Structure 1
Amino acid sequence: MRKPQGTAFIYLSIFVGLLLTVMPLPQLVKLARPDWALLVLMYWTMALPQRVSIGIAFFTGFVVDVLVGTVLGVNALAFAVVIFVVALHHLKIRNFSIVQQSLLLGLLLALYQLLLFWLSHFLTGVYFLPQYLWPVLTGMLVWPWVFWLLRRYRRQLKIQ
């Protein structure tokens, strides 16, 4: 049986997404930081759902919990739910134009932020602020570049 190619690049791209998630930024910019790791996971789930799916999303969310210092399992559960929806509808999402994908992924990023808020409110008593939704807007804006970059490398490296 032949081993699938490109596994190292997939994990490297997820690692880069994790680095971008915890990279120090000024406070004003930090509020609008896109959810890089989730965007990378969304791409790989749409492109190769048989290789990147809920288990890897849960583990990546758990790593985000550890790196960011949130309650363990909050990001893991939210990542798993969002990636489940993407994996369930990956064939439909792939056929959308890049603008339609950005809008749909904006809804999924909003679902992620609302799950984070709901779980954090339940566990620690955090109150909702409209600033929590800035990463949704920035995620929608950077999605075309994330999609283009990862698709380009996936095709160059012939990752299947």
Structure 2
Amino acid sequence: MQNSWRFLYIHLTLLLALLLNVMPLPAAVKLFRPDWPLLVLCYWVLALPHRTNIGTAFVLGFLVDVMVGTVLGVNALGYSVICFVVAANHLKIRNFSVLQQSLLVGLLLALYHLVVFWLSHFLTGVYFRAAYLWPVLTGMIVWPYIFWFLRRTRRQFKIQ
């Protein structure tokens, strides 16, 4: 019973991140909203790559597509690409300090936004604006707090 609760905890944090992603905000603040699901997913792939994988990333990205109303598969592909990069290098990334991880997460978020923009541009004709990159900066700022919070709760509940 406890093992299923521990497994469920990962999915509850991802669900909470999905809710934070669609929470209504004022228009001025909405531009700066970090990519909560992707940040939480990056933590779980980094911490437990045998529990969360590219399949989890694809399903989570598909749910983001449905909840946000974008073209189906755009976020799913972006999440899968970032998850692949993190999973392939998780042993190296774990050895970085939290500030170095924050810079790397910023690069991964920029890659994610590039993939999403590229697909959206070819599918719907969206044009690039510099405001697309604000979530990269806020994601870099929020990463240490997400990392420390999820790490503390993972150790407290002994999730492995």
- TM-score higher than 0.5: yes
TM-score tier by shorter-chain length is over 0.9
CA distance in 2, matches of 1:152, 1:42: 16
Which residue in the other structure is 2:63 paired with? 63
Q: Deviations over 1:104-153 (max 9, x none)?
A: 01000000001010000000000000000000000000000000000000
CA distance in 2, matches of 1:122, 1:83: 23
Which residue in the other structure is 2:98 paired with? 98
**Residues 95-134 of structure 1 mapped to structure 2, 5 A cutoff:** 95-134=95-134
Which residue in the other structure is 2:142 paired with? 142
Q: Do 1:5 and 1:158's aligned partners in 2 also have CA atoms closer than 8 Å?
A: no
CA distance in 1, matches of 2:147, 2:113: 21
Q: Do 1:5 and 1:159's aligned partners in 2 also have CA atoms closer than 8 Å?
A: no
- Paired residue secondary structure (2:85): helix
Return the offset for 1:67.
0.1
CA distance in 1, matches of 2:13, 2:53: 15
CA distance in 2, matches of 1:71, 1:144: 31
TM-score by length of 1: 0.97
- Paired residue secondary structure (2:120): helix
TM-score by length of 2: 0.97
CA distance in 1, matches of 2:81, 2:4: 26
CA distance in 2, matches of 1:52, 1:8: 12
Which residue in the other structure is 2:48 paired with? 48
Instruction: Mark the runs of 5 or more structure 1 residues left unpaired by the alignment.
Output: none
Task: Out of 2-11 and 134-143, give the one that drifted further.
Answer: 2-11
Q: Deviations over 1:30-88 (max 9, x none)?
A: 01100000000000000000000100000000000000000000000000000000000
Moved >4 Å (runs of 4+): 2-5
Which residue in the other structure is 2:151 paired with? 151
Instruction: Mark the runs of 5 or more structure 2 residues left unpaired by the alignment.
Output: none
Identity in percent: 67
Counterpart AA for 1:17 = A
CA distance in 2, matches of 1:3, 1:24: 34
CA distance in 2, matches of 1:57, 1:23: 21
Return the offset for 1:6.
1.0
Which residue in the other structure is 2:30 paired with? 30
Aligned residues between the structures? 159
CA distance in 2, matches of 1:104, 1:8: 28
**Residues 13-28 of structure 1 mapped to structure 2, 5 A cutoff:** 13-28=13-28
